[in-house]
Amino acid sequence: MEVFKPLFNSSIDEIIEADRKWDAFFLLPKSFQIQDSRAELYPDIEREALLTSYQDYYKILSDIDPGENLCDLGAGLCRGSFLAQNANLPDCYSIELSQERIDQAKAASLELGYDEKFLIHGDIANIDVERFHHFYLYFPKSPLLFELLQKLRGNASKRKTYLYVTESHGDMLSYLNELSFLEREASFITSLPRHHEETIKYRVLTSQARSLLDELTLLWGTGVFLSFTYEHLILKQEVDWIFPLSSCDLHMHDKAEVEFLPFKRKMNLDAVSFCEVSNFERNQLRDEAKLLRGKDCYYLEDKSGRVFEIS
Ligand SMILES: C[S@@+](CC[C@H](N)C(=O)[O-])C[C@H]1O[C@@H](n2cnc3c(N)ncnc32)[C@H](O)[C@@H]1O
């Protein structure tokens, strides 16, 4: 049986050709397209844009100590699991939400006599991180990440935990680099052109939050509320806009920002504060309107900017 060998000093075309050859060798489907039309599953995307090259999986898996394993979070065609078994590298568990992709990988695995336990149909949001030592992410940044990072810190309190990340949309590494509980430990040049030319290896630390961005990342999903105070043009008064952290994304571009997702509204992180919320206020919160606390009463403002007093 042919065993994978990494390429050195190869052109992009040679790497793509080798990836296609190994997909065929592992009996993986030629087309990445799937019937499920959910946008987060990338139903129509081209494989070179979406999949990590076998060359890069090889670098990551070779970096892992024998006896430890890797969990590929959103695994696509599950290339890492096939490569690990072929080249006798540390175990790679592939978690993939698309039933079709997992079914295709399982059919190929069965035919090759590989172990099906490495191919898991599931949602990253629900994984039991304790089964795994290290994690690979080539995935767009979204609030899904915050609970995952919280869980990885839990893992790191029990054993050394590493997170390997390839940039997907240009906003992941800038955010992760800012978190004090992720320590950049190494990097690997990616074999194919990517948003960022390196896959970064972070050690997950259990240290306490040192910045507001750290703190909000670790508090996401725990029922915390924020407020943003500003001068309202229509109401002609200062108002506190109250919103739950769990309706927000967190970003780090030139500065740290919080984005209230239902309105796609971004605010500087240093302009928001933690906010105690009464039962009345909690009952008024909704995604389709901003809850504004004015001088003497409350208001709701809809997405078209219409403001209604709440009595
Ligand atoms: C950019 S691809 C990366 C695939 C693979 N890790 C690689 O690098 O070749 C992301 C994959 O994540 C899957 N995905 C999206 N949301 C997911 C979720 N919540 N849980 C598990 N997989 C998910 C998509 O279907 C897609 O196959």
Sheet with 162-166, strands from edge to edge, namely: 119-121, 92-96, 70-73, 134-137, 162-166, 198-204, 182-189
For the chain, domains (ranges, CATH) are 12-207 (3.40.50.150), 222-310 (no CATH)
Ligand 1 atom closest to Cα of residue 72: 6
Q: Give the distance (Å) from ligand 1 centre to CA of residue 161.
A: 21
Nearest residue by C-alpha to atom 6 in ligand 1? 75
Q: Give the distance (Å) from ligand 1 centre to CA of residue 148.
A: 14
Separation of alpha carbons 177 and 164, rounded Å: 12
Residue 96 beta carbon below 6 angstroms from any ligand 1 atom: yes
State the chain's mean pLDDT as an integer.
94
Mean pLDDT for 175-186 is 98
Mutate to test the pocket of ligand 1, among 22, 35, 41, 53 (most ligand atoms within 8 A of CB): 41
Mean pLDDT for 168-180 is 95
pTM recorded for the entire structure: 0.94
Predicted confidence (pLDDT) per residue in 132-171, tens digit: 999 999 999 999 999 999 999 999 999 999 999 999 989 9
> For the chain, how many helices (H) and strands (E)?
9, 16
Contact (CB, 8 A) for 194 and 167: yes
Q: Which residues pair with 201 in a beta bridge?
A: 164, 186
Contact (CB, 8 A) for 291 and 298: yes
Taking CA atoms, 253 is separated from 174, 188, 203, in Å, by 6, 23, 22
Check residues 62 and 32 and name the one with the higher pLDDT.
Answer: 62
DSSP character at residue 46: -
pLDDT of residue 23 exceeding 90: yes
Q: Which residues pair with 205 in a beta bridge?
A: none
| pLDDT classification of 45: cutoffs 50, 70, 90 | low
**φ, ψ for residue 271, nearest 5 deg:** -95, -5
Q: DSSP characters for 199-261?
A: EEEEEE--PPP-SHHHHHHHHTTS--EEEEEEEETTTTEEEEEEEEGGGEEEEESSSEEEEEG
The confidence score (pLDDT) of residue 194 equals 86
Residue 50 beta carbon below 6 angstroms from any ligand 1 atom: yes
Mutate to test the pocket of ligand 1, among 22, 77, 92, 97 (most ligand atoms within 8 A of CB): 97
The confidence score (pLDDT) of residue 41 equals 74
Q: Give the distance (Å) from ligand 1 centre to CA of residue 75.
A: 5
